[in-house]
Amino acid sequence: MLGNFEYKRIRSIEEGCLCLAEAAGKGAVLAGGTDLLVEIRNGLKSPDILIDCKGLDALNAFHVSQSGSSIGASVPLNRLIEHRGFHTIYPALADALISIGTYQLRNRATLAGNICNASPAADSAPILLVLNAVVDVIGIEGVRAISIRDFFTGVKKTTLKPDEIVTGIRLPERSDLRTAFKKQQRIRGHDLAIINVAGAYSPDEKTLRLAIGSCAPTPVLLDPIEVDSKDADAFASHVIEIVRSSVSPISDVRASASYRSAVLPILVKRILHELLPAGGGA
């Protein structure tokens, strides 16, 4: 048996929020379900009610544009990945989404679900952080817009209130950005990240933003780094020192802290080589 819970297919977001409020913290929202159903099956979660929001048209829509994009909470990853404009405007985010699970899983998994699961290794989290994404939610008290920087509070924990439902994710206009995503995992194919790193470089502002996942209880967004060095090697060393002072890799079932500490500078250098002229200089 998967679990003993009530199943409710909601007809509106407001109905879902009321159900969650009545469940008093014992409700769960079903969109893709690729993480949630596994956790229920393994006994890690035991909701009293499962609230299915997949049938809501408002959550199944997405809009992709250079001037800003919005992605509904129930949009499967493959719909985004197979959208040609999405690859053009958000190449690094597309790379991150392709690295999540298998093709079959991505037919159900959602971007909102990937961040709501709040795994420190979530592949979409670092690139959403450097893109300064915004999470839209609705609850009993109304609508909220949460910066992705403030969304994660711990392992499997977010700032969402018990009655709130994520309705979508917005990506602001930043057409000048160059972005990149790198991931180290244990095996070829699909696997959770040992480390994932995302970078965004603004040629206009001469700033670099880096975010690192799977090295701490939450993904880590570094402060913007000013890119003003003509010496690529010196700048790379400078960035790596900033990374080391900002992140203390952890040990878990996938890798030791020492292994992560050894791999992290390599991924950072690859990000710099891909984003910056001559691999580092402005």
Closest CA to 64 of 44, 46, 79: 79
What are the structure tokens assigned to 196, written together? 């994932």
- Tell me how crowded residue 52 is: count the other CB atoms within 10 A of its CB: 16
Distances (CA, A) of 215 to 170, 223, 246: 26, 17, 11
What pTM does this model have? 0.93
pLDDT digits (tens, 9 = 90+) for 119-139: 999 999 999 999 999 999 999
β partners of residue 145 = 136
Find all residues with CB under 8 Å of 239, minimum gap 6, and list them.
208, 210, 225, 268, 272
Asked whether the beta carbons of 272 and 181 are under 8 A apart, the reply is no
Q: Which domains are present in the chain?
A: 6-52 (3.30.43.10), 61-171 (3.30.465.10), 178-279 (3.30.390.50)
pLDDT digits (tens, 9 = 90+) for 32-78: 888 888 899 888 889 999 999 989 999 999 999 988 999 999 999 99
